[in-house]
Each structure stands twice: as structure tokens, then as C-alpha cells.
A and B are shown apart, each in its own frame.
Chain A
């Protein structure tokens, strides 16, 4: 009980002392202030005088040289910061959380994108990633501006469709007409591009298309042997088209130049 009373008294005296400091700061004299708290006067009076004395002490002043030198250093530091700030990788990417997030998302999309495209390379029609493969090829075509590049790409795509068609062949299973049409279409497009190329650029691609037509014919023959009744007519029609393409290519090879009007090449 006594301890509790002492604590309360202490709290009270600290509060009173603070109030008196405020009063003295406002201009009241120490004695006048203490008049209201006579019971604490003995203890508080010297403390109030001491507080006043400390308050009235002149402020310590540094030497002019020290201040001037610091200001000079500060100005130099500020200029230095300004120049380094423009190219501060750390500032942009490490300390800025928004940039970090944007960078992480872009990186994630890139990694995910590259991984998906790589995985889709071996996909077949019907696979989940096959549309990604086709989309990637279209983007490749869009990004290729010159005709020679486009011719090479169409030749490669015709080759890929041939492989895919061959992979899906199974005795008694219906063939994919869409895939077959796409295989022949890519060959047509490759030939159409080659037609406008000069002799030197065309030669290598013509050989590539010729080899592709050769493979296509072999695959179609195999397909006819194991095809269902309903597919035979479609395959034979495709074979006919393939023969025409091969004749055109052979004609180009013989002339070793752009196709003559005698060749039955696509326009």
C-alpha cells in the first residue's frame, strides 16, 4: 500500500514538474508557479532553476570551416548522386518493387513461352500443344520478309506435315484429311515462292522440295496400302496432286532456271 502510494506521488510530481516547466516557459516566475504546489517546492525549485539555466545556455556553435566544408561535400555528393541515378540499375530494379515485379513477370512469361514452344516442336495433330506449334510457324512466317526465307520455311513446314501424316498412319484408322491438305498446300506455297526467285537462290530450295515430294509420294503409297475404303479416293487424289508438283519441280531442275510456261506449276 505504501509502495503504491509512493508510485502515485512520483507520477504526480513528474506531471506537476512538467506543468511548471511549461508555465515558466510562458514567462511566469518559478516562485509564483511553486506557490500552488508548496508541498513540492523544496524538491522542484532547484530543478526548475536548473532547467531554466540549461535553456538559457548559448547554443554550441561549430566552426565556420567545418560547416562550409560539409556543405561543399554535400553539394558534390548530390551532383554525384544525380549523375549515377540516371543509370542506376540498382535503383530501378532492386529498390523499386514495382519494377521488380514487372521484371519477374516478363521473365516468367519468357521462360514459360520458350519452354512451351520447345515442348510443342514434337507435338502431333490432336495434342494439346499442337496449336502452339502451328501458331509459332505462323509467327515465323510473319516475321520473315524476304521471299527466299518464306520459300525455305514453306518447304520445312511441308516436310513437317509429311512427318506428322506418316506418324499418324495406322492400318484401318481414318486419315486426317485436313493434315493431308495442309501437307500439299505447304508444298504448293513453297513452289509458288521458288518460282519468283533467281536461279542461284532457287536451286537449293528446289532440291529440298523435290526430296520432300519424293517422301510425300512414298508416304501416300504406304497410306493407300493400309487405308480404309473411304480414304482411298482422297489419297489417290492427293497422289495425283503430288505427281503434278513433282513434275513441276523436275521441270525446274531440268531448266535449272525459273519454270518455263511448259511446266504445269502453280501460279
Chain B
């Protein structure tokens, strides 16, 4: 399957450029709209990728979120990132509800699946797939903090704004999330060392 080149996915827009493109898209500029879609897609895909079982599900869900963003774009005010993550959060809740799956796959199922492959885990690097499986054992908020802070690279204030939490709460969540992840990986023989 052909992969979309990262550069075309416009993850690298600075605040001013993003604001300008969003404003042009609101006015009806088709190219600006495509750039906004591409940017939102790249940001949200990481967000959904670690929350669902299959990459195809992540693509479907991301596509749905991008279309919701486009639909409501004319009414967008304030922080654009906070706004798109709010839409993504609600879409994820709907997704879970529709699929009637509490956390995609229950933690016990996950333990069996991973335990069988524990040999592969030992002495191997952490991969996205393993991280995704490990994240299923976290709470919803812990997963959100890991994705926003360590995968997307936002700072504490931004994460706090997107999640509607205080900066202090984000610090606590990130610590607990990493500790839980570390416990999960240790049990399966993976140790992260430089």
C-alpha cells in the first residue's frame, strides 16, 4: 500500500501559517481546505491509531473526524488544535458506542495475545504496534496524555487545554501512564534502555 509522504501531510505548520490557511479555507479556498484536511488528518491519525485495533479503523475514524471538521469549519473560533481534538474526542466516544466495545479489546484478551509472543518482546525495540497494545491497558485519560504529549509533542499547557484539565493533573496523568506502561512492558520482557 502506497504511503502518503510526510511532507505532503503538513504536520509542520506553525501557528500563523495554520491560522492563515484555516481563514482561507473558511472563505472557500479549495486549496487551503485541502491543506487543512491534510494537516488535520495527520494530527488526528496518530490520535486514533493508538485507540483502535486496526489501522483501517483508524483511517475510517480519522476520515470521519476530518469531514466533521470541514462541516463545522465556518463556526470554528479560538484554538484550532483544542477544537479539532474536541471533535475527535466526541467522534471516538461515538465510535466506541457504535461498536459496543469498551476498549476495543479487553485487557484480559490482550494479555493472552501478548503473553504468547513474549519471546518476541524480549530484547527488542518498542514498536508502534506494541505501544498500541500496551496502551489498551491504560485509562482513557492516560492514553490521551501519552498521545498528545509524547507522540504529538504538545507541551503541558496545550495538553491541559485540549483535555480540559489543569497542568498539575496532566503531570500526574503522564507519570501514572508511563509507570503503568512500564509495568506492562516489564512483564513481557521488554526494557527500554538507551
Contacts and interface: CB of A to CB of B under 8 A. Distances in A.
Contacts of A15: 171
B101 interface: no
A60 B45 contact: yes
Interface string B109-133: 0000000000000000111100100
A235 B50 CA distance: 100
A82 B175 CA distance: 47
Contacts of A49: 192-194
Contacts of B71: 77, 81
Interface stretch (B14-22, B85-93, B150-158): B150-158
Interface residues of B, number: 53
A59 B41 contact: no
**Most interface-central of A61, A62, A75 (chain B CB within 10 A):** A62
B135 to A, nearest CB: 10
Given A17-B175, A60-B46, A78-B70, A46 B63 contact: no
A66 B9 CA distance: 12
Interface string A71-91: 101110110011000000000
A50 B67 contact: no
A64 interface: yes
Contacts of A11: 172
A65 interface: yes
A54 interface: yes
Contacts of A71: 34, 37-38, 41
B150 A13 contact: no
Given A67-B38, A70-B66, A71-B37, A60 B59 contact: no
Contacts of A18: 156, 171, 174-175
Nearest to A69: B63
Interface of B is mostly: helix
B165 interface: no
A21 B153 CA distance: 12
B62 interface: yes
Nearest to A14: B175
B192 A74 contact: no
A66 B38 CA distance: 11
Q: Point out which of B5, B174, B192 has the most chain A C-beta atoms below 10 A from its C-beta.
A: B192
Contacts of A6: none
Contacts of A65: 1-2
A50 B4 contact: no
Contact of A53 (B42, B50, B59, B126): B126
Contact of B28 (A47, A68, A82): A82
B99 interface: no
B84 interface: no
A167 interface: no
B187 interface: no
A49 B178 CA distance: 10
A55 B150 contact: yes
Contacts of B128: 57-58, 60
Interface of A: 11, 13-15, 17-18, 21, 30, 46-47, 49-55, 57-71, 73-75, 77-78, 81-82
13 contacts: A47-B182, A52-B194, A54-B150, A55-B153, A60-B45, A60-B49, A64-B2, A65-B2, A66-B62, A67-B4, A70-B66, A75-B34, A78-B33
